[in-house]
Every structure is written in C-alpha cells, then in structure tokens.
Amino acid sequence: MAELRQVPGGRETPQGELRPDVVEDEVPPSPVAEESRGGGSNSSEAKLSPREDEELDPRIQEELEQLNQASEDINQAELQLDEARTTYRRTLQESARKLNTQGSHLGSCIEKARPYYEARRMAKEVGMGQQACVALRLPVLLSPLP
C-alpha cells in the first residue's frame, strides 16, 4: 500500500494516487441540466458533461501535487544552502582567528622572513619569463642558417 502523506493545506492522499472529490454514489449536477432549467450560462464550461468535469480534477490534482513536491524540493535546497553558508562563515571566522593568533605570536619572525619570500617569488617570476623567452626563440635558434 502506498504511503500517506499530509500536504500543508491539502488532504491525505497516497503517493502517486488520486482520490476524486466526488463520492462515487453521488452524481454531480450536470451543467447541461441546469442550462435547460434556465439557471446556466452559454459559456463552454456549462456544456461540459459530468464525465469531462470529473476528468479535469485528477489532472489538476496531479499538477498541484507536482507543484507541492517541487516547492518541497526548493525549500530543502534553500535549507541546505543556508546551512552551507553558515558552515562557511563559521569556518572562515575560525580560520581568520587562528591566523591572527599565529600572526601575533610570530609577528617579528614574519617581518624578518618577508624579504626572503618576496625575493624568492620575484626570482620564480623572472625564471618563468626566461623560460618563455627561450621557448619563443628556440625555433629560431634551431633553424639552419641560410
């Protein structure tokens, strides 16, 4: 048997199954019958037979269930996004705090070592520039002389 689920503002229905709003023993009043009594209008809705009227409800109900499911999925995704953002902020704050603590403990050492690491970075950039120049000129250097 299918699992029953309660949709907020809705009714209990088994998953994937629909229950018609009309009780099987009752027959809804026919718009055609009302029209013959003089109480109906000339619109196309008034000309629907009871069978066509019953077929509209399950389709609409199915679309509403799909819409409810999509809304639930969106809400779940938003909750996960909020949780991920909260975790990210917490991690970022903790990392910044640890970095500041380490910086305060090693402040003088960092200042003394800074020139070395800046020179090392510049040497690496120069080396990469030299490699690019060699790569560009290498075909010219290897070509035979005329």
Please check the confidence at residue 33 and state whether its pLDDT lies above 70: no
Instruction: Determine what percent of the chain is predicted with pLDDT higher than 90.
Output: 35
Q: Where residue 46 falls among pLDDT bands split at 50, 70, 90? A: low
Classify the C-alpha dihedral 13-19-23-24 as positive or negative: negative
pLDDT in tens, 69-125: 999 999 999 999 999 999 999 999 999 999 999 988 888 888 889 999 999 999 999
Mean pLDDT of the chain: 75
pLDDT the model gives residue 23: 47
Taking Cα atoms as reference points, which of 57, 53, 19 lies closest to residue 33?
53
